[in-house]
Structure 1
């Protein structure tokens, strides 16, 4: 599988992700534009659940949100949410991703398309980890606190630099 890659550099190590332009061209382009604009430099991973997800996006360690400055891409469900895939997070509105993403730390078929509205529309996989999945696994073992039914890291992990290769 070929495609452009980007590297997320953290104090725990680097995670390299290949964009899946073949399966999610609009999401891949959206992410590339955000990365090239430097939107993820200094952003954080703030949610971690062992065997499920490591999630981050356009906010800093204080929790302050950063605007994406781009319209959200429409849902592109073509790939299953399997371990090592990278997926656009969203709310019930299928086009509410706004730069939030997660790394699947296990197979998550419940995140695949199962219906025609709301959560049933699934979550768009736009990339796959090609190296550094062990970094995400390690992050999922860090202390968390439950907030709104989600496990949030007590100390968010800073994405020191996120750059296309």
Structure 2
């Protein structure tokens, strides 16, 4: 067998192995987190393939127990519920540095999608997140500009959307804070993804 034949065989084997690894990575189950609230439990599947930076950031906050005993502090019926940043006493929790905005990943702010909250600066998301209760296309990426960046979707509710909707319909004060405190008791990573 010639040296060129051996090289060709080795390159073919490497290409086949590389393809096999990328296929298995794509078919690997996506992580699922359980959001336990005083109004019920929500399961969210995180899209680590489309939003790797955002999911890694979120899971680090989960691991650090950042979200335990925070609240859904902003609720707008027919729009979204937002949480993960404030204690029950409405004290804002300290966070790590902001992350890259991955809103250009092809995921949309559809009903049940979870996305990162941020300020007017497109690259300012830290820990706060929101869950859409409507198809909020105005929040999607359109272009890489301050106005067009949109909000990075990084997963979707796979169980407990009834809980999300129940929270979204609570009466609020003029600043959109629910009159009834909605506590995020904990967010934990599930061992096995569950879908219903």
* Counterpart for residue 28 of structure 1: 55
Question: Structure 2: any 5+ residue segments left out of the alignment?
Answer: 1-26, 191-196
CA RMSD of the aligned region, Å? Answer: 1.3
Unaligned runs of 5+ residues in structure 1 are: none
**TM-score w.r.t. structure 2 length?**
0.78
Corresponding residue for 1:130?
A: 158
Larger RCO (alpha carbons 8 Å, 6+ apart): 1
The C-alpha deviation readout for 1:47-75, integer Å capped at 9, x for no partner, is: 1112210110121011111112x222101
Check whether the contact 2:46–2:55 (CA below 8 A) recurs between aligned residues: yes
Larger radius of gyration: 2
The CA distance in 2 between the partners of 1:102 and 1:119, in whole Å, is 19
**Equivalent position of 1:154 in the other structure:** 179
Partner of 2:193: none
- 1:161 is paired with a residue whose SS is strand
Moved over 3 A (4+): none
- Alpha carbons 2:70, 2:87 under 8 Å: kept: yes
* TM-superposed deviation, 1:156: 2.8
Specify which of 50, 60, 77 is matched with residue 50 of structure 1.
Answer: 77
Task: Kindly indicate which of the two structures has a greater share of residues assigned to strand.
Answer: 1
Q: TM-score with structure 1 length normalisation?
A: 0.92
Shift of 1:117: 2.0
